[in-house]
């Protein structure tokens, strides 16, 4: 018997990038769509950075595959308001690594540091993860860490040299376009 995930994965072979969140928020779980929480800027940042040709929004999240992009979360079985509400046992790192290796996107873009830290540690790269391009890979996929676009994450204190979250999404778009 398989266990239902909070949100479906949107994955396919040949993607430019897969965005990996930590876990669906409660609003996203209730609506059944990625990044549906009030104040979450994820979809606006994708469009404004040129990663998608138009604003999709949570209700059109399945259309992201047409943009050569995918979506998944590290914790698939329960929603959480904050990353701190999750235990390490909620994260299925081996399943994520297997999916990335199976679909082999050019890039894996972690949406927030929590999921990136868990995967880096599992791959033997320690717990130090900065925003931006990483020196390590997952299979053949390069890795980039974006700041969370959650409405609860408004502080600019941890942007590591950038003036906005959108600036990080634009940098990722340049990396993606430079392939």
Q: Hey, where are the domains in the chain?
A: 17-177
Q: What pLDDT score does 20 carry?
A: 97
List the structure tokens of 161.
């040299």
How many angstroms from the chain centroid is the CA of residue 11? Answer: 12
Is 26 in contact with 81 (CB distance < 8 Å)? yes
With 0.85 as the threshold, say if the pTM is over it: yes
Lowest-confidence range among 53-62, 77-86, 113-122, 146-155?
A: 77-86
Torsion of CA 145, 175, 104, 20, to 10 degrees: 30
Compute the distance between CA of residue 169 and CA of residue 50 in angstroms, rounded to an integer.
Answer: 9
Residue 49 in this model has a pLDDT that exceeds 50: yes
Give the mean pLDDT of 24-51.
93
Lowest-confidence range among 27-41, 98-112, 129-143, 150-164?
A: 150-164
Compute the distance between CA of residue 176 and CA of residue 60 in angstroms, rounded to an integer.
Answer: 22
- 2 exposure class (CB count in 10 Å sphere: 0-12, 13-18, 19+): exposed
CA atoms within 13 Å, Cβ hemisphere of 69: 22
For 58-110, what is each residue's pLDDT tens digit? 999 999 999 999 999 998 876 666 666 666 777 889 999 999 999 999 999 99
Give the mean pLDDT of 108-125.
94
CA atoms within 13 Å, Cβ hemisphere of 88: 5
List beta partners, residue 18. Answer: 70, 108
Residue 47 in this model has a pLDDT that exceeds 70: yes
pLDDT band for position 2 (50/70/90)?
Answer: low
Radius of gyration from C-alpha coordinates of the chain: 15
Fold of 17-177: Uracil-DNA Glycosylase, subunit E (3.40.470)
The percent of residues above 70 in pLDDT, for the chain, comes to 86
44 Cβ partners below 8 Å, 6+ apart?
55, 149
Q: What pLDDT score does 1 carry?
A: 44
């Amino acid at each position: 018997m398989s266990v239902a995930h909070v949100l479906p994965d949107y994955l396919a072979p040949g993607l430019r990038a897969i965005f990996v969140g930590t876990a669906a928020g409660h609003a996203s779980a209730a609506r059944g769509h990625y990044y549906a929480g009030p104040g979450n800027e994820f979809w606006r940042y994708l469009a404004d950075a040129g990663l998608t040709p138009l604003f999709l929004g949570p209700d059109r999240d399945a259309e992201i595959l047409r943009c050569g992009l995918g979506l998944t979360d590290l914790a698939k079985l329960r929603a959480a308001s904050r990353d701190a509400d999750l235990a390490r046992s909620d994260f299925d790192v081996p399943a994520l690594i297997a999916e990335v290796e199976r679909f082999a996107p050019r890039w894996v873009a972690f949406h927030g540091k929590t999921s990136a830290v868990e995967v880096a540690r599992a791959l033997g790269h320690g717990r130090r993860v900065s925003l931006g391009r990483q020196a390590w890979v997952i299979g053949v996929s390069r890795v980039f860490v974006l700041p969370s676009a959650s409405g609860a994450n408004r502080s600019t204190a941890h942007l590591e040299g950038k003036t906005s979250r959108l600036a990080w999404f634009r940098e990722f778009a340049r990396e993606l376009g430079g392939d």
